[in-house]
Amino acid sequence: MDFWDVYEKERTKPNFGSVRQYLTSRERIHLSLSSVEQYGVGMEMNTGSFRKFREEERYLIVSDMTRDLFVSIYDVNQQHALLLRFSESLEADALKRIDQEIKNMKKPNLEMRVIGLQDKETELLGTVERLHGMFKSSLMEVDLFGEETRHIVFDMKLGMSFNLLLLNRIYKQYELLNMTTKPAFEKRKSEIKFV
């Protein structure tokens, strides 16, 4: 199922950005930290990476997401992924590097997932739309806006995202409410670095 048509219709509505957008074919499953940490590797803000599936690094742990954006572009055929977590729009040289890496894939079948941001913060979505314009991919999941902090696990074998339970239990209502102020977040912003 591809959500680009639904996303584009929602994007034109006047209240876009002030209401949580959650488009997915299934509800995101929960995984506890204890079940993934042995085979997991963390992803810091303002980083990008190109990864192939390896059993010892099966899970990518993306925690404490507030005003930043996580984008995964996964090649179903090769279990290869481009993973981005950024807080500023991508510059031309970063886009050029991404384009080159995608062109190196042999007959890719790409799936994109977009997760993050807070209410009324839509400026990073232009980068997502540019990425889609560079190479066609199916939009499999959109989880944008809201007021909570997100903790995500991306499974490199399945190409799917899961909710990460840091405390190994389901969170109570309002327990994940974002408490990071805009000035505190601004201090952490920088250009993306590829690792």
Structure tokens at 195: 């690792």
Average pLDDT score over residue span 36-40: 92
pLDDT in tens, 119-143: 888 889 999 999 998 888 899 999 9
With DSSP H G I counted as helix, E B as strand and the rest as coil, what are the percentages for the chain, rounded to 5? 25, 35, 40
- With tokens 């190109």, the residue in question is 50
Distance CA 100, CA 37 (A): 31
Q: Tell whether the torsion through CA atoms of 44, 150, 188 and 11 is positive or negative.
A: positive
Structure tokens at 107: 């007959």
Structure tokens at 26: 């299934």
Sequence-distant contacts of 11-19: CB under 8 A, at least 24 apart: 11/125, 16/122, 17/119, 17/120, 17/121, 17/122, 17/145, 18/119, 18/120, 18/145, 19/119, 19/145
Its domain, for residue 145, covers 4-194
9 vs 171, which has greater pLDDT? 9
On average, the pLDDT of the chain sits at: 88
Average pLDDT score over residue span 4-10: 91
Q: What is the CATH number of the domain that holds 82?
A: 3.30.1330.200
State the total domains in the chain. Answer: 1
pLDDT in tens, 47-99: 999 999 999 999 999 998 988 999 999 999 999 999 999 999 999 999 999 99
Average pLDDT score over residue span 7-21: 90
CA angle 149, 12, 46 (to 5 degrees): 35
Count, in order, helices (H) and strands (E) of the chain. Answer: 5, 12
Strand partners for 24: 141
